[in-house]
Each structure stands twice: as structure tokens, then as C-alpha cells.
Amino acid sequence: MNVPLFPLNAVLFPGGPLPLRIFEPRYLDMISRCMKHDAPFGVLLIREGREVGPATTHTVGTLATVTDWYQGSDGLLGITAIGTERFSLVDAEREHDGLNVGNVELLPPPPSFVLPDDYLALPPILESVMNDLGRLYEDLDRRFDDAVWVAHRFVEILPIGLEQKQLWLESDDVPGCLKMIEEALHS
């Protein structure tokens, strides 16, 4: 699968929202093409470099599809995208306009399972936080009984480092993630 790549200082999880303000011509063109063809783009965490200019990235990321767009009062394009599937970057090339395009291989999702009884205190906390986060999370499909979904939403919103978030994106250890979340909430 060949997709345009968007290196960011953010980690996107499947099912999670991603608000972006687009101003670079290469990304304006990319978003336009993605919306026209209902095609995804790949989001990868920047390892070195910046969002504007050249950057090296991690090799595991998440496909994203545009779900909403608007033009800001400053004239910039604003979009909301939703993460769909994790992928591994096989190889990439930089096009003449500076856009990176990658050949990606989809990764299987972590096995889904019902949230264990030990973690039943997490959904009410998560729901309260999501309600406080407003518009970005209000239309999100909510699956508070799904352990993978709960783990992904918490890792998105917890104030932990991007490299730690990236490790959890790459991991299928959902029980370990839930344990980390509980420890983080109690510390």
C-alpha cells in the first residue's frame, strides 16, 4: 500500500482524533487529494527534525482519514482526522514538492477483549475527561467496555512523553498498558 506521509510531533492511535492546521503547499495538496479520493494518509512520529522541513521518523505509524475540515479566520485549512489502522513503513521517497510517500504494510490490531474487572474504575474517569475535552472527542465512537479502545484513549490524553506513547502504539501488550495507566493515575 502506497500512502502520503505526514511526519508530526504527535502519536495517533487507531480510533483517535487528530486536529491539524494545514499551511504548507505539499500538505494542502495531499489533503485535497486524500479528500477527493477518500484515501488515507500516514501519520508518523518525528524522531529527529521538525514538522516544517526534513525529518526522520519512527517506522510504525497510523493511517488517518479526514472526517471534517474548515477554513480558519486566519485563512489556514483546519482538519480533523481519525486514526484507522497501524502500519509499518517499508520504504519511503521524497517527491519533488517535498511530500514523503511511503510503501506501508498494515499491522494486525491488538486482540480485542472486554475490560478486566480490575480496571472498571477507568471508564468513568476516561468519560469525564473526554467530556471535558469538548468537540474533538464528542463525536468519537465510545467503547468503554473494550480494553484496547480504553487503553488507546488514555495513552492519547495522558501527559506522558511522545516516545512513551510511540512505544505503546508499537506494542500489543494491552494488559501492560492498562497497568501503566492505573499507575500513572495513582502517582
**pLDDT digits 0-9 by tens, 117-163:** 999 999 999 999 999 998 889 889 999 999 999 999 999 999 999 99
78 and 134: one domain? no
Q: Give me the CATH number covering residue 55.
A: 2.30.130.40
Whether 64 is covered by a domain: the verdict is: yes
Query: d(Cα 37, Cα 15) in Å, to the nearest integer?
Result: 21
User: Is there a contact between 146 and 177 (Cβ–Cβ < 8 Å)?
Assistant: no
- For residue 58, give Cα distances in angstroms to 90, 115, 126, 146, 173: 11, 29, 28, 27, 19
Residue type, 66: V
Query: d(Cα 71, Cα 119) in Å, to the nearest integer?
Result: 41
Q: Residue 59: how many CB atoms within 10 A of its CB?
A: 17
Mean pLDDT of the chain: 95
Whether 25 is covered by a domain: the verdict is: yes
Query: d(Cα 57, Cα 47) in Å, to the nearest integer?
Result: 5
Range of the domain at 152: 117-186
Confidence of residue 165 (pLDDT cuts 50, 70, 90): very high
